[in-house]
Chain A
């Protein structure tokens, strides 16, 4: 018998992350010999980003891909992955996200079956007009950001302006904000390279956004055992592919960024350490908050840092 599932993804259909998801669907269909078929909907045409997880619970779609960060408070444990922990690459961030999920099995994800997670490469601050080389340069600079990246911006001494990604292009173009915190990839993917001038490659405080692919639990359990095994094998392969794709997107993004005649600055080790120190209280506070709420915040942070060490 064949089972037909629906898959909702908020990434636009031409985005590499969406194309990988679509290839995942085809791979599942092929390797289950057509017993599991998937109707794929990209670009939020089935559920918008902040309703994707709930949509999988509520039967709007059977499978969904979105970011933990779009539903703040729902994923307190996984949210710690998004902190500015100094992610060097998308591969590293993806490994961290999957490791945290596998090792700590957060309760917040218990009502669905996780397929795999992935996460983008380092999110950094981009500015218009004035370049940012030191913490002092950030004083009084307004930076478009959301959620945790807004907290990071604040911790670094700049002024966060909360605006969602789709508003970014127009806001930057018109100078409503002085800059934006986003992954390097977005300079190409969201065309932000056209409207910023400088990037501060502060890898020591690179943050990430972790994305999930989950399936409705009942639907998952209704699949034959051999198909579940097959899909799990595919998942392990695909998590890696997504991480690598984030890194190749970053390369593209950097190229697009420089093609616009923009400039990028690195931080010397002393300055990098200052930035790291500036965000440390925010990370520690979140770890402590998790401890207070009965999760192993400190153990998770330790595990993340160890995984990151292997990727340096």
Chain B
């Protein structure tokens, strides 16, 4: 049978089996295994399965995930995140959707030190979800903000996708990082705008709270003293290069424990509960990544991304239309595949085409990252959405999966607008790197 047909059948089968409520990660693994054995060999597929799962579990880069989740859990069980949001509320609470805006901005700040998008989503969901619910924010807005905000971790440097892109296309990674800053801020602003518009149309989603005087606000900030110190240590340490992301997470855990013990907020029981909840969430996230990896191998051997890229190469269209088709391919591809695998498979084919059309490779890299950022929140394979859903379940703040998918729509729209702006005004991306190099 034709590999392309098997690939499409695999996607359809996966979506159908999703509906049985079988865990999403199990389904991706199962369908990936079946497809790979059809296309390569049963023996090869069985061996690939075990090795892929092990290599995801035993990946140093991914050890940031359990550690940052643990930091978030400890901040939650010792009341640190509660105080953080109380303070944010005093500053932003009187604006409609203000806490969601604060959360999205925090995601960008967190993303500026962490290169992994599920890690950003998981951390921010642990800290932010229960708090936003406490202030009567609707599920859609609260979960949509953290799931989409998590993706900002990928555009905002450092970014794993940008490093891979830089190595693949022989572009300066430093230049790519610098180029990512303005678009990341632009998307953050567009997200905030989306929240404002959304809460104007549906005010019950992010209700306006009371307003506070500046005196009260400054006092609230003062209460955060040592907590801010911990976060400054984590962020500053990463920024100034005292440690790597995994190390920063460990320092964060250590700092949060120290602060909570100092304030006598952390009990042994609370500590153990945080450990177990971290294990549960991490296991869920890692199994999702492993499932996406196995399924991605199947997609790779169908050669569908490869065939589509070659098909576009032979299209006779205006440059801007070709660009639009490429963006569409990444958008659709991101629905079914992990972004790194997709970039690895297709960029080498697209790049000569893009250069031939006269586009700047640095600029194209940023466009790719922005499009793949959508991939982490689009169904059926939208890792951030599942991560946020899982975190919410674990914190007894159950939300419906549909609510989250509904909640990401305004943010998707915002990213589309962002990409359009960057396509129209490439200088938004290029002026900073041109200034610096």
Residues on A lying within 8 angstroms of B by beta carbon are: 6, 12-14, 39, 41-48, 50-51, 54-55, 58-61, 164, 166-167, 169-171, 173-176, 188-191, 194-195
Contacts and interface: CB of A to CB of B under 8 A. Distances in A.
Interface in B100-119: 115
A295 B172 CA distance: 45
B274 interface: no
A50 B158 CA distance: 25
Give the dominant DSSP class at A's interface.
loop
The 8 lowest CB-CB distance pairs between A and B, nearest first, are A174-B241, A58-B47, A59-B44, A13-B348, A175-B241, A43-B344, A59-B43, A60-B44
Which of A164, A169, A175 neighbours the largest number of chain B CB atoms within 10 Å of its CB?
A169
B170 A6 contact: no
Contacts, number: 97
A189 B167 CA distance: 7
Contacts of A48: 55
Interface string B314-349: 000000000000000000000000000100110010
B60 interface: yes
A298 B166 CA distance: 43
Interface string B159-171: 0000110111110
Contacts of B170: 14, 188
Contacts of B243: 176
Give the dominant DSSP class at B's interface.
helix
Contacts of B166: 191
B62 to A, nearest CB: 12
A50 B60 CA distance: 14
A46 B301 contact: yes
A45 B300 contact: yes
16 contacts: A6-B301, A39-B301, A45-B300, A47-B51, A50-B55, A51-B55, A55-B44, A59-B41, A59-B44, A59-B47, A60-B47, A60-B48, A170-B244, A189-B167, A191-B166, A191-B174
Contacts of A171: 244
Given A48-B55, A60-B47, A169-B173, A14 B168 contact: yes
A59 B244 contact: no
Contacts of A169: 163, 173
Contact of B60 (A12, A41, A47, A167): A167
A191 B168 CA distance: 11
A307 B351 CA distance: 41
Nearest to A171: B244
A5 to B, nearest CB: 11
B344 A45 contact: yes
Interface in B238-268: 238, 240-244
A14 B241 contact: no
Contacts of A54: 47, 51
Interface in B122-176: 158, 163-164, 166-170, 172-174
Contact of A167 (B47, B244, B341, B344): B244
Given A41-B300, A60-B40, A176 B344 contact: no
Contacts of A14: 168-170, 348, 351
Contacts of A42: 344, 348
Which of A51, A55, A169, A170 neighbours the largest number of chain B CB atoms within 10 Å of its CB?
A170
Which of A45, A47, A175 neighbours the largest number of chain B CB atoms within 10 Å of its CB?
A45
A45 B240 CA distance: 34
Interface string B201-228: 0000000000000000000000000000
A59 B41 CA distance: 7
Given A55-B47, A58-B48, 19 more contacts: A6-B301, A12-B164, A12-B167, A12-B168, A41-B300, A41-B301, A44-B344, A46-B300, A55-B48, A58-B44, A59-B44, A166-B61, A167-B60, A169-B173, A171-B244, A173-B174, A175-B241, A190-B167, A191-B173
